[in-house]
């Protein structure tokens, strides 16, 4: 059974960097048929996909255009986890952030527990 455990601060100051980590159990971050995603949810923006990282003989990242200049996803094979960094945050980045696994056309089948991140001074 795949489990995703998120960690990271729930409060970030404006202009600073939001950092979250997702620890994977029951699967490998280097798995060659899945991708590892970050998705956020807010009342104003709904469910918004931010990006994904995946391994197919080498590492690939895909990012949403809306955050492309500010986002970095990093896999960590030694700890079997992946992380999200979102720079220069504003109050509009306040949301519940989820890490999640996806596999081709099979949907997003495993989700982390969610982390409410509030951007406020």
Q: Would you count residue 92 as binding other proteins (CB under 8 A)?
A: no
Q: Would you count residue 106 as binding other proteins (CB under 8 A)?
A: yes
CA 5 to CA 81: how far, in whole Å? 9
Two tokens, residue 19: 């950092």
Smallest gap from Cβ 93 to other proteins, in A, equals: 17
Pick 65 or 120: Cβ nearer other proteins = 65
Element at 81 (helix H, strand E): strand 81-86
Q: Considering only residues 9-48, where is the footprint of other proteins by CB under 8 A? A: 37, 39, 46-48
Smallest gap from Cβ 78 to other proteins, in A, equals: 26
Q: Would you count residue 104 as binding other proteins (CB under 8 A)?
A: yes
- For tokens 């255009």, the residue is 65
CA 9 to CA 116: how far, in whole Å? 9
Binding region for other proteins (CB under 8 A): 37, 39, 46-49, 62, 64-65, 98, 100, 102, 104-109, 111-114
């Amino acid at each position: 059974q795949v489990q995703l455990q998120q960690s990271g601060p729930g409060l970030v100051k404006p202009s600073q960097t939001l950092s979250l980590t997702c620890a994977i159990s029951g699967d490998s971050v280097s798995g060659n048929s899945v991708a590892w995603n970050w998705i956020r949810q807010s009342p104003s923006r709904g469910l918004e996909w931010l990006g994904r990282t995946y391994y197919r003989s080498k590492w690939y990242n895909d990012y949403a255009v809306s955050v492309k200049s500010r986002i970095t996803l990093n896999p960590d094979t030694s700890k079997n986890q992946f992380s999200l960094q979102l720079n220069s945050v504003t109050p509009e980045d306040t949301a519940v952030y989820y890490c999640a696994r996806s596999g081709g056309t099979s949907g997003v089948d495993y989700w982390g527990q969610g982390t409410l991140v509030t951007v406020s001074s």
